[in-house]
Amino acid sequence: MVELTNFDDLINPRLHGKFEPKPVYDVETQTSTETASIEIDAARKPVVIVDNLHVKYQVYSSGKSVGAAGAKRLLQSSTRGIREVHAVKGVSFVAYENESIGVIGSNGSGKSTLMRTITGLTSPAEGSVYASSRPNMLGVGAALIPDLSGDKNIMLGGLALGYNRQEINEMREDITKFAELEEFIDLPMRTYSSGMSARLKFAIAASKQHDILIVDEALAVGDARFRKRSEAKIREIRENAGTIFLVSHSMGSILDTCNRVIWIEKGVLMMDGDAKKVVNAYKAKKK
């Protein structure tokens, strides 16, 4: 992922033409096919450009990732039992400021891999991702400690997001109320149900305004009432000039939250457009 402070360096020469990536991937023939074209809307501000993105990784036949140590061993021994997974195949699109983009597809279709590559957590095998600012994945789970109270974890999560102690103290009450944990905030997090923990993590992570935010199945937790509040919070972030990517299997959440949908299947971009049209096409394909 390449972060650009000024997108003019990338797009100005192309504003009145087309952004021309390399050939896209054909899932039927397993080869590259015709050249794809991406129109860049000169009237809107692009914040993410994904250019002919391919992501590949190697796994043992058991499904376990090879990793750095395994890759080193490959240089010293046979590759028997190792196979390459082509997770994302020639995906190209432009995301604009203030969009809420749903990302849908079957399990194992490459949605999460695509999002991890946009955030810079996964390296592409080919192609590029350009962003006007660093994309953030919604979540602070790794920073929280189960043996500490919810209150102390709010402090830890806030520090992980870049807040200072005074700022965290000022938002502590709002986070606690949003997570609906007023009666339990002084108890250790290990005593929380999975739903309570998920609500606290979401409340902490969503307290920060992000320019580019990726939400991967975060709305699939909690009861229906909390999911509605979570969706409203996502819309609030979007309306404050943020761009949201929402990965979800819930078509209801996608339609309630997103104005555009990207459909990924077997690593290939199948459709990109109006949320209702893409969701209807996806549902029809699944019947």
Q: How far is CA 197 from the centre of its chain?
A: 21
- What does the longest C-alpha to C-alpha distance in the chain come to? 59
Mean pLDDT for each consecutive 10-residue tract of the chain (287 residues)?
53 40 50 58 87 86 56 50 86 92 93 91 89 82 85 93 93 94 96 90 87 78 78 80 86 90 94 95 87
Contacts of 247 (CB under 8 A, 6+ apart): 102, 103, 104, 111, 112, 115, 214, 215, 216, 217
Amino acid at 170: E
Q: Look up the pTM and report it.
A: 0.75
Task: Say what the pLDDT of residue 80 is.
Answer: 60
- Find out whether 44 and 259 touch, Cβ atoms under 8 Å: no
**120's tokens:** 């810079």
Nearest to 106 by CA among 268, 273, 275, 274: 268
Q: What DSSP state is assigned to residue 206?
A: T
Q: What is the C-alpha separation between 169 and 185, in angstroms, rounded? A: 14
Task: Say what the pLDDT of residue 41 is.
Answer: 79
What is the sign of the dihedral through the CA atoms of 52, 129, 238 and 172? positive
Task: Say what the pLDDT of residue 216 is.
Answer: 81
- Find out whether 52 and 92 touch, Cβ atoms under 8 Å: yes
Q: What is the C-alpha separation between 82 and 14, in angstroms, rounded? A: 42
Q: Which domains does the chain have, with CATH numbers?
A: 2-137+251-286 (3.40.50)
Helix (H) or strand (E) run with residue 177 in it: helix 165-178
